[in-house]
Structure 1
Amino acid sequence: LLDGVRGWLMAGAEPLQRLAAMPTQLWRDVSESTRSRSDLENEIALLDQENLLLKGQMQTFWSLQEENRRLRAALNAAQPLEQDLLLAEAIPVKGDARRQFVLVNRGSRDGVFVGQAALVAEGLLGQVLHVGPRTAEILLLSDDTHAVPVRIARTGQRAIAQGTGNGERMEILYLPSNADVKEGDVLVTSGLGGIFPPGYPVATVSAIAEAAGGDFARVSARPLAPVDDVREVLLLWMRDTVSADLPKTDHAP
């Protein structure tokens, strides 16, 4: 009888015990939930910080990747040569109607020298005309005082590409009237004179006029380098001139 009464009392007390335990359990649940939420917020904050750091690192990585891509593009434009390249940025300056040039942020402190070849990803841009400690002036191949020894890539026929002062047109001189030349032919540097290495694209033949009884053909070509929109330039050192002209600085390639 006593066992039955005890069982009945325990059964009746169970709801009361649960009710009494609810605040404690509720506090535990709330505390656990609060702790989990706090931990989650901390993890999110850490992830946000890591994400921001990674974005900053990716910006640097992208910049290096772009520079590497531009260097590779210029290198692939020519025959394999022993050479070094230095990337320079164009500095906006007021133009000179008498001369076509671009100013870059590299100078004698970086080993830049007068006569040095200047390239862009598309091919030859010109050569260094004046050098200061931190800047250099590059005479563009489209300037009417600039001439480049070239050859027709398809045939090997040699000629001279002369600037006209027009960024869209060059004249091809000393090309025999019976030369095998076609519109669209690519002209590349021949290497004669030793200033420009051989194999760099210069221009494409755009027009051929019938020779009027002369010894040379009248040929026009369009420069491949965007001479009217230069933003970055590659300065070139041939391997045998590096030791003499390129100082050991942080800027040197």
Structure 2
Amino acid sequence: MNPIFIDGYSSHRRMLLALVLSSVFIYCDHKLASFETARTYFQSLVSPLQYIANTPKQLMDYASDNLVSRSQLMEDNERYQMNELLLNEKLLQLNILKQENDRLRKLLASPVKSEYKKMVAEILAVDSDPYSQQIVVDRGELDGIYEGQPVIDDTGVVGQVLHVGANNSRVLLLTDITHAIPLRVHRNGIRLIARGTGSVSQMEVNHVPHSTDIKVGDLLVTSGLGGKFPQGYPVAEVIYVSDSSEKEFAQINIRPLVNFNRLRYLLMLWPESLATNDRADSVIKESEQ
């Protein structure tokens, strides 16, 4: 007579098997990059779901933007007029500074650096994992996006592209604990390395001697070292510098200029070499036609 209930693998054996398989998969992904193709495929596969999930938010934003009162419109109009006056005044100052800068460059025989190729992208999703600072944007491989590409907004550097799908990409933010970026102090040119802390409002600078000339309020910009981020883009502001000599290095905390909680539109940058190649290709195509 056959027994009704047959004992299978115990829970301990199943747990051991799961740990072994997980270790094998982690090693293959980290050392051999065996799942890059699968990751790209699934990134593209979930793209329609991300668009669908983002549709209610877009509808709500559209409704809230259009359902405003007459008094709100009048207040906004008055504020816009004041902002226009202020911006026009600043524009006059910038034109004067630009003319002076052009004169200095001619004197120093320093050619003006050509602009980088740019593309606007919109955020589709934000990573819900509190230990991972990543976002998803609506630009992918079909738009020419590549891994390691720098990403900025109107206030400063946001991060770099981590994974690329066909129609969207995943961006690693500066504040992620795995991210580091070479910077320099705008005031005196001192170079240093900043790392993310996992907090959207704070980063840190390590291995800086106490004698280094860094002050609270200093602006930190990209140094251009490493070849990923173009030089001169603002990144953060120094908010704390320790004056204690008990530790070997100074403790320096900085605050990113970008408000990561309010990101919506980003700017994808291409290195000057790629932008130059694109312009050359377009010239060749026009000449062939």
- The normalised TM-score by structure 2 is 0.55
Secondary structure at the counterpart of residue 161 of structure 2:
strand
**The 10-residue stretch of structure 1 (86-95 or 143-152) with the greater mean CA deviation from structure 2:** 86-95
> Unaligned regions of 5+ residues in structure 1, if any?
1-75
| Corresponding residue number in structure 2 for 1:71 | none
Give the drift of 1:175.
2.2
- Distance in 2 between the 1:244 and 1:175 partners? 39
- Distance in 2 between the 1:212 and 1:122 partners? 35
Distance 1:176 1:107, change over 3 A: same
Distance 1:95 1:80, change over 3 A: farther
Choose the corresponding residue for 1:176, options 206, 209, 216.
209
Greater fraction of residues in helix: 2
Can you list the C-alpha shifts for 1:97-127, whole angstroms capped at 9, x where unaligned?
2210111000000000000000010010000
Distance 1:81 1:101, change over 3 A: farther
Q: Percent identity?
A: 42
| Corresponding residue number in structure 2 for 1:132 | 165
Matched, 1:99 2:154: no
- Distance in 1 between the 2:114 and 2:249 partners? 32
Matched, 1:202 2:235: yes
Is the contact between residue 127 and residue 133 of structure 2 (CA under 8 Å) also seen in structure 1?
no
Distance 1:222 1:135, change over 3 A: same
Give the drift of 1:174.
2.9
Letter in 2 for 1:95: S
Instruction: Report the RMSD for the aligned CA atoms in angstroms.
Output: 2.6
- Distance in 2 between the 1:106 and 1:239 partners? 20
| Corresponding residue number in structure 2 for 1:157 | 190
Is the contact between residue 149 and residue 160 of structure 1 (CA under 8 Å) also seen in structure 2?
yes
Distance 1:151 1:81, change over 3 A: farther
| Corresponding residue number in structure 2 for 1:231 | 264
| Corresponding residue number in structure 2 for 1:117 | 150
- Distance in 2 between the 1:109 and 1:244 partners? 17
Distance 1:144 1:244, change over 3 A: farther
Larger-Rg structure: 1
Give the drift of 1:226.
1.1
| Corresponding residue number in structure 1 for 2:249 | 216
Secondary structure at the counterpart of residue 125 of structure 1:
strand
Secondary structure at the counterpart of residue 166 of structure 2:
coil
Secondary structure at the counterpart of residue 109 of structure 1:
helix
| Corresponding residue number in structure 2 for 1:88 | 121
| Corresponding residue number in structure 2 for 1:167 | 200
Letter in 1 for 2:219: V
Is the contact between residue 89 and residue 233 of structure 1 (CA under 8 Å) also seen in structure 2?
yes
Choose the corresponding residue for 1:141, options 141, 149, 174.
174
